[in-house]
Amino acid sequence: MESTDRRKTGATCRHSGEVPSFFVFKYPDGMSSPQVERAQQWLRAHESHLLADFQSVLRIPSIEADPLPNAPFGQANRDALDFALDLGKQWGMQTKDLDGYCGYAEFGSGDKLICIFGHLDVVPVGAGWKYDPFSATIDSGYVYARGATDDKGPTIAAFYAAKSLMELGEDLGCRIRVVFGCNEESGFKCIEHYVAHDEAPTFGVAPDAGWPLIHAEKGIANMVFRLNAPKSRFQFVSLEGGQRPNIVIDAAVGKILVANEVRAEVEEKLAKQWDKNLTWNWEGETLVINALGKAAHGSTPYFGDNAAARVLRFAAELAPAEEQEFWGDLFHTTHPSGLGLGIDGADEFTSLTSNLGVVEMKEGACHLTFNIRYPVTWKGETLKTRSEKKLAEDGLPLELAEFEDSVPLFFPLDHPLVKTVVDVYAEETGERLTPGVMGGGTYARAVPNSVAIGTGWVGDGKAHQTDERLKIENLYKMSRIYAHIFYRLTKA
């Protein structure tokens, strides 16, 4: 997922500045740096091709849509996959389409398998973009587009890095495979299909995180609560908003039925409205509240502004005295620490975050979906027991209706895969960074023997946010570092 300023993780990478010479990786006997230099020279000579292909894949609006034959995630996602596979075929790689769920291109031979897991699907775009989010417009050295940083840029950079090693024309003693997923942002069905039907890597990396890599990913749980609102004179009717659980809600609409005997009190409070991101109107006896917020990745909800939380806070302020506790407790559930759900806490690596990502009316009741990123040493069942206890204590009529859990990922710092990536990054940049812990989820958590590696630097746009962008020079720099990492893994 990322460095602390961008991408989809909220990673906590620390570094100590310049690397003393005795810490910089030295190639052991039998391993020659000229191969890496030659691969990087090829990448420099083909930067214009890399940029052109990057823009081409960005222009495919690969947001998940209704399934079609051999396109389980919609035609646009199928188009993005075909683009990558066709490029691999042009380069002379062996390609395989895994039923439209994902596909890969590979070269080399041997039992050892180095896999790169990138994804070509993107999250919805939202409003307020500087440029058309699928135009791949270049401005001041940056390419603006949905997916620029998450994850099309890193994926294409990694693909070119693999091609540069193929251009060495040498037997690397292994196979290098680039896997292209089409459903990372909304379910991981693509990578689950891969794991079920194809080969696990000897070493795998997902270019979708912070430098140098992420050695621990938080657990991720989606908790869907059904709200059974009590009858009252300030009666909850509906609340709707959100696109995905892992995106902060940027627009929401709430409706409240107001009894005649408290209408004057509510009107008086409305006259003192202060929130400029809220508008309201009456539809008969129903108060309709519209709120605007700011989207952000669900792993870092504090970087966004939750529109549904704005509606609930406003309702709590408007409510008659006898109704304020209910509305206040309901608003409190939106706290990004999980405090209002009773699940807040931390371990030695990181703390829990909670994002109310979707609110919707179905089956006659409002359902609230919280996207929880919990500490790496916790178990998902802890969330269920703690939230049920808290809601019972508060008397809040929320019932856990659905629970999905993706367990945490953890690699020790002395693992060969971790050490290799750290050493290469130090060699390439002069910085020895400590591997991070992140709240975002990558393919690494779903594939054996895999970690998520870095993707960009300060100034690149934040994943899942408006005006996502990637600096062109950073695209090139990534490709060169990836080539070095992949080569080193062939010798690990």
How distant is the alpha carbon of residue 316 from its chain centre? 32
Say if residues 454 and 135 touch (Cβ distance below 8 Å): no
Say if residues 220 and 372 touch (Cβ distance below 8 Å): yes
3-state secondary structure of 104: strand
Give residue 15's identity as a one-letter amino acid code: H
Say if residues 218 and 9 touch (Cβ distance below 8 Å): no
3-state helix, strand, coil in the chain (%, to 5): 35, 30, 35
- Copy the structure tokens of residue 240: 């709707």
Helix (H) / strand (E) containing 119 = strand 113-119
Say if residues 400 and 425 touch (Cβ distance below 8 Å): no
Tell me the pairing of strands 431-434 and 14-18: antiparallel
Say if residues 339 and 357 touch (Cβ distance below 8 Å): no
Catalytic (active-site) positions: 121, 184
- Copy the structure tokens of residue 362: 């179905």
Q: Which of 310, 342, 352 is nearest to 327 (CA)?
A: 310
343 CB burial (10 A radius; 0-12, 13-18, 19+): buried
Residue spans of alpha helices (H) in 320-464:
324-332, 380-394, 416-429
**C-alpha span between 147 and 157 (Å, rounded):** 13
How many C-beta atoms surround the C-beta of residue 237 within 10 A? 15
**C-alpha span between 331 and 238 (Å, rounded):** 14
Q: Which of 176, 8, 145 is nearest to 80 (CA)?
A: 145
Give how far Cα 464 sits from Cα of 113, 149, 297, 301, 467, Å. 32, 9, 5, 11, 9
- Copy the structure tokens of residue 208: 């979708």
